[in-house]
Amino acid sequence: MLNRRCPRCQANYASPARFCTRDGSPLVEVAPGDRPTVPTPHLASPSETPPPPAAPAAGAVARSADITQPPSPSELADRQRYSTLSGQDLDGRYRIVRKVGEGGMSFVYQGEDLENGQTVAIKVLTPRLSRDPPSVERLKREASIAMRLKHPNVCPILRVGHTGEGMLYLVMPYLPGEALSEYETRRGQLPVEEGVAILAQVCRGLQHAHDLGIIHRDLKPENVMLVPDAREKNGFRAVVMDFGLAKQRRAGPDVAKLTQTGIVLGTPEFMSPEQIRGKPLDGRSDIYAIGVLAFEMFTAQLPFSGRSAQETMLARLKGAPTPIREVRPDLPPRLEAVITRALSLQPADRPGTMDELAFAFEAVTQGGVLSRLFGK
């Protein structure tokens, strides 16, 4: 059995694991004899943007953190301080209990709402963000959009806070469960019925957001939580996370990007061609990301490849994706048709809504009239 290692955090894994459960990085093979040690999953934590990376290994497909700026020594010291907040209170309202995850732009803690005793997740933004007033205001505005979300397949933001000491934080429901990225690492290629059920739930949640004029812009396995739910056939419910970087279709240009503070809105492997080009976006950009997500779920690899984040993005602008049945021939032709359509270069060639895409996925396993409508 081959051993594999994350080029960023150096965590070791056993094959067939392909992605790091801590930061989503593609794994690279290491010399035999290294004992793989799989890190403890970040249970019940909202998904994280990966931390500033080490140089990626040759041939590795890197996530969006490849195009962020590494922190300075003073920022590293601040990060250390922000990563040890357990036991403190925020604004006299939220008590920080324990850290459950961290990434390049935030630290995630389990907390308690002192007013009602509710267990919450608290995402504390890095000092780099908190000290830049324009960025604080833009992020507050974008996060406030997510407060209007109310759907079983969406995790809303309950509050945006900014302490007197300048600490910026987001409060969300605390969800027990596992990130889809971690689930994929454990399971490898997902069975068709199981994957279709997850994708349909993700589509329903995103349709709710689109109905409110909200585009996610950064959909990826790290941003989908699988929450235990006995009412669902698979035993869990898919919940779309991280709407704090979502964009309202009617938002002004000043809300569009936060790149000057090191945030890249979108992950290169999942960006639609129009997002890469900086064109106006609508819900069909999220549909493209669903197509990439689906391809990865069923094949444990991406439809486009490159030696860097930039090469991966360019591949999306120049060529067609790898046909999914070339990677996994046992998949139904109807499923390949649905995913190929979602990955169309032109938005007009994709499904028009998330509900339409959800029906198309469900038709793959349900057959009958639905299969005649949405596939061949």
Is the residue at 308 inside a domain?
yes
Tell me how far apart the alpha carbons of residues 294 and 190 are, in angstroms, rounded to a whole number.
10
pLDDT-wise least confident of 11-20, 172-181, 283-292, 341-350: 11-20
Query: Sorting pLDDT into bands at 50, 70 and 90, what band is 20?
Result: low
Residues 192 and 92 in one domain: no
Tell me how far apart the alpha carbons of residues 348 and 50 are, in angstroms, rounded to a whole number.
32
Tell me how far apart the alpha carbons of residues 285 and 256 are, in angstroms, rounded to a whole number.
15
232-241 residue pLDDT tens: 988 999 999 8
Q: Whole domain around residue 100: which residue ranges?
A: 76-173
Query: Sorting pLDDT into bands at 50, 70 and 90, what band is 246?
Result: low
213-225 residue pLDDT tens: 889 888 999 899 9
Query: Sorting pLDDT into bands at 50, 70 and 90, what band is 36?
Result: very low
42-73 residue pLDDT tens: 333 334 333 333 333 222 233 444 334 556 77
Residues 209 and 333 in one domain: yes
Query: Which helix (DSSP H) or strand (DSSP E) does residue 292 occupy?
Result: helix 283-299
Beta strands across the sheet bearing 119-125: 89-90, 94-102, 106-113, 119-125, 168-173, 159-162
Q: Are 146 and 187 in contact (CB under 8 A)?
A: no
Residue of higher predicted confidence among 105 and 198: 198
Query: Sorting pLDDT into bands at 50, 70 and 90, what band is 242?
Result: confident
Tell me how far apart the alpha carbons of residues 363 and 376 are, in angstroms, rounded to a whole number.
10
| Residue where a domain stops, chosen among 173, 208, 239 | 173
Q: Are 178 and 232 in contact (CB under 8 A)?
A: no
Residues 199 and 257 in one domain: yes
Is the residue at 69 inside a domain?
no
CATH of the domain at 120: 3.30.200.20
Q: Are 325 and 333 in contact (CB under 8 A)?
A: yes
Q: What b-and-e string marks burial along 194-227, b requiring 16 or more CB atoms within 10 Å of the CB?
A: bbbbbbbbbbbbbbbbbeeebbbbbbbbbbbbbb
Strands 106-113 and 89-90: unpaired
Taking 60 as the threshold, does the pLDDT of residue 35 lie above it? no
Q: Are 225 and 46 in contact (CB under 8 A)?
A: yes
Is the residue at 329 inside a domain?
yes
In the chain, how many domains are there? 3
Residues 14 and 81 in one domain: no
| Residue where a domain stops, chosen among 145, 173, 201 | 173
pLDDT of residue 101: 81
Q: What is the pTM of this model?
A: 0.74
Which one of the listed residues 23, 66, 218, 286 is annotated catalytic? 218
- Both structure tokens of 256: 């569009």
Is the residue at 268 inside a domain?
yes
* 3-state secondary structure (DSSP) of residue 51: coil
| Residue where a domain stops, chosen among 173, 193, 216 | 173
Residues 94 and 193 in one domain: no
Tell me how far apart the alpha carbons of residues 259 and 303 are, in angstroms, rounded to a whole number.
26
Is the residue at 37 inside a domain?
no
Residues 182 and 165 in one domain: no
pLDDT-wise least confident of 8-12, 89-93, 113-117, 124-128: 8-12
Q: Are 252 and 301 in contact (CB under 8 A)?
A: no
Taking 70 as the threshold, does the pLDDT of residue 345 lie above it? yes
Tell me how far apart the alpha carbons of residues 189 and 300 are, in angstroms, rounded to a whole number.
5
Tell me how far apart the alpha carbons of residues 35 and 14 are, in angstroms, rounded to a whole number.
9
* 3-state secondary structure (DSSP) of residue 142: helix
From residue 152, alpha-carbon distances to 132, 173, 233, 308 in Å are 34, 12, 15, 36
Residues 209 and 120 in one domain: no
Determine how many CB atoms are found less than 10 A away from the CB of residue 86: 13
129-148 residue pLDDT tens: 777 777 677 677 767 777 88
* 3-state secondary structure (DSSP) of residue 225: strand
Q: What is the DSSP-derived secondary structure letter of residue 277?
A: T
Is the residue at 68 inside a domain?
no
Residues 245 and 112 in one domain: no
For 266, counting Cβ atoms within 10 Å of its Cβ (0-12 exposed, 13-18 middle, 19+ buried), the class is: buried
Tell me how far apart the alpha carbons of residues 72 and 212 are, in angstroms, rounded to a whole number.
39
Residue 218 appears among annotated catalytic residues: yes
Residues 168 and 133 in one domain: yes
User: Any idea which residue has 């955090």 for tokens?
Assistant: 9
Residues 186 and 212 in one domain: yes
Residues 366 and 217 in one domain: yes
Is the residue at 58 inside a domain?
no
Residues 15 and 130 in one domain: no
CATH of the domain at 304: 1.10.510.10
From residue 268, alpha-carbon distances to 120, 145, 236, 306 in Å are 30, 23, 28, 11
pLDDT of residue 352: 95
Is the residue at 121 inside a domain?
yes
